[in-house]
Homo-oligomer: A and B are copies of this chain.
Amino acid sequence: MAYFDAASAAPLHPVARQALSASLDEGWADPARLYREGRRARMLLDAAREAAAEAVGCRPDELVFTSSGTGAVHSGIAGALAGRRRAGRHLIVSAVEHSSVLHSAEVFEAEGGTVTRAPVTRTGAVSVGSYADALRSDTALACLQSANHEVGTEQPVAEVAELCREAGVPLLVDAAQSLGWGAVECPWSLLTASAHKWGGPSGVGLLVVRKGVRFAPRGPVDERESGRAAGFENIPAIVAAAASLRAVRAQAAQEAVRVRELTARIRARVGALVPDVEVVGDPERRLPGIVTFSCLYVDGEALLHELDRAGFSVSSGSSCTSSTLTPSHVLRAMGVLSEGNVRVSLPVGAAEEDVERFLDVLPGAVAGVREKLGAPAPVADVRGDVLVVDALGKRCPIPVIELAKVIGDVPVGGSVRVLSDDEAARLDIPAWCEMRGQEYVGEEPADRGSAYVVRRTS
């Protein structure tokens, strides 16, 4: 058994478990009360806040505990936008932020705000220039993740923070994926994180608002956590979160080197082991533990099941997994192949032999899925001088498989039109062309779905 999905949730760190158990007896009472059980709870809460603040690199009174990373992002963005209402109603986010950021942006738009979504390169990084271009006199807030949760690419937060500081615009950094590895060392204004990503318990997020940053909490008044996180404090979990953050940080420098070598091994070898694979994300500026690749002609959900049966837990941004019909917004923004997508995110302490075994198992798993898929012979006919493949009603990865099957029948210089109503085709047909060195001509409207036109160049 090897759990390789730490970017979703890390297994509970032993220190977190110990701290949680130890504080269940002391931390259940209301820290706002004056009696001894309340005072004990308050002391635990204060100590946890100091420890977390030290790890973040902020003052204790700048940090509040929320009930999740998502909650921290929702409160942080809404509060910062409300606090800067007079400055304007413009928000900048990157196109590859966590869904909690993007959904907050949608709410802001629905309330009349304007949102600029900074694009990313094929490696998943924003350019500093795109933030420079997006900044306006009415920009209330900019958001940028420290590193991407799906492909591991680190963002240029230091440069963007400097830019924002010069423009007088607060920057919110979503550090959910990176805080366990280290503090975000730049002049950010707000920071959010989630304990269960670093091995802390579920139910604890961090929201940090630097002194001097205008902030107006939204929603019903609640006196707890400086009015920034409603509801009774979950002190045992907060204690466990702070203790485990210290513990993972103590090993972070050493563990980062070890884990980075393991993901580098996957990056380097997966292409040779498995035909038709695209490794995505920045090869250098990346988190230690994440490596992501996509496999042509593979149904992501089927591959996940194969790997699960072989004892590996990974996740996928493919459209055909987790009851969604659209590929992950991150892969879409990057413009990379989404079919057969696999994210491997190694937890702290991941074993080298498990990684080696994964590389042993993967080629067979991919081949098995490809064989089982054994797409039916494409229904193709020639209309005018263009070959038309009717893949309507067929889901990822079938349209791409059918394209691959017929391309040999097209004379060099000739074209093929793939009719598809699958959302993933919009991303994966151009990606296939890129990988295969064929020319992607473009998308045209059709009676149903779209027609994707490909010209054979070799």
Contacts and interface: CB of A to CB of B under 8 A. Distances in A.
A446 B235 CA distance: 47
Interface in A344-358: none
A326 interface: no
Contact of A5 (B8, B35, B106, B205): B35
A32 B106 CA distance: 23
A30 B17 CA distance: 18
Contacts of A103: 220-222
Contacts of A305: 34
A55 to B, nearest CB: 20
Interface stretch (A282-290, A307-315, A424-432): A307-315
Given A222-B100, A236-B202, A68 B230 contact: yes
A392 interface: no
A13 to B, nearest CB: 10
Interface string A69-112: 11100100000000000000000000000011001101100000
A182 interface: no
B33 A8 contact: yes
A38 B307 CA distance: 14
Contact of A232 (B9, B314, B321): B9
Interface in A227-271: 230-237
Interface stretch (A21-29, A114-122, A162-170, A360-368): A21-29
Nearest to A203: B234
B231 A68 contact: yes
A204 to B, nearest CB: 8
Scoring A3, A25, A28, A322 by chain B CB atoms within 10 A of each residue's CB, the highest score goes to: A28
A220 B97 CA distance: 14
Nearest to A300: B34
Contact of A29 (B9, B34, B203): B9
A3 B41 CA distance: 14
Given A231-B70, A232-B196, A322-B34, A28 B5 contact: no
Given A33-B315, A37-B313, A107-B220, A236 B201 contact: yes
B24 A230 contact: no
A236 B321 CA distance: 26
A304 B221 contact: no
A194 interface: yes
Contacts of A71: 67, 230-231
Contacts of A231: 67-71, 205
Interface string A184-218: 00000000001010000111010000000000000
Nearest to A21: B21
A222 B99 CA distance: 8
20 contacts: A3-B29, A5-B29, A8-B30, A9-B232, A17-B24, A20-B24, A24-B201, A27-B202, A33-B322, A68-B232, A70-B232, A71-B231, A99-B221, A100-B230, A103-B220, A103-B222, A106-B220, A107-B220, A205-B231, A234-B237
Give the 3 A-B residue pairs with the shortest CB-CB distance, closest first.
A68-B231, A67-B67, A203-B234
